Homo-oligomer: A and B are copies of this chain.
Amino acid sequence: MTITEVSKKFGLSPDTLRYYERIGLIPRVHRNESGIRDYTEEDCRWIEFIKCMRDAGVQIEALIEYVALFQQGDATVEARKQILIEQREQLIARIEEMQKALERLNYKIEQYETKVVPAQNKLKR
């Protein structure tokens, strides 16, 4: 697959794909004879995984480390697992924050719906 195809497939710009590769957020992509990127199935799986994590707000730093460890082989299995566990904890914490905000928004919207002007509004001069 060409970079343009991959770009469309995953909704990431070619610039972003090149950038991800440059900083080691995805392993080095396969090239053809003239040095042009020719993404394999595996390259695509990496991109999809990374996109999923990035969309969820997982920090690039942690992912770069994960990819680097991955490329160092089986000796790093435990370290990789720890990174995933750490990121999972952070993700859970963020989801909880968001649930709190969501409940708050639900409550506020409900107030507006029942035409009850919120307390803050009343106090406001």
- Kindly identify which residue among B49, B71, B81, B113 contacts A109, using a CB–CB cutoff of 8 Å: B81
Residues on A close to B: CB < 8 A?
27, 42, 45-46, 49, 52-53, 55-58, 70-71, 74, 77, 80-81, 84-85, 87-88, 91-92, 94-95, 97-102, 104-106, 108-109, 112-113, 117, 120-121, 123-124
The dominant DSSP class at the A interface is: helix
27 example contacts (A-B, Cβ-Cβ < 8 A) are as follows: A27-B124, A42-B124, A45-B120, A46-B120, A52-B101, A53-B101, A53-B104, A55-B101, A56-B97, A56-B101, A57-B98, A70-B120, A70-B121, A70-B124, A71-B124, A74-B117, A77-B112, A77-B117, A81-B109, A84-B105, A84-B109, A85-B109, A88-B106, A91-B98, A91-B101, A91-B105, A94-B98
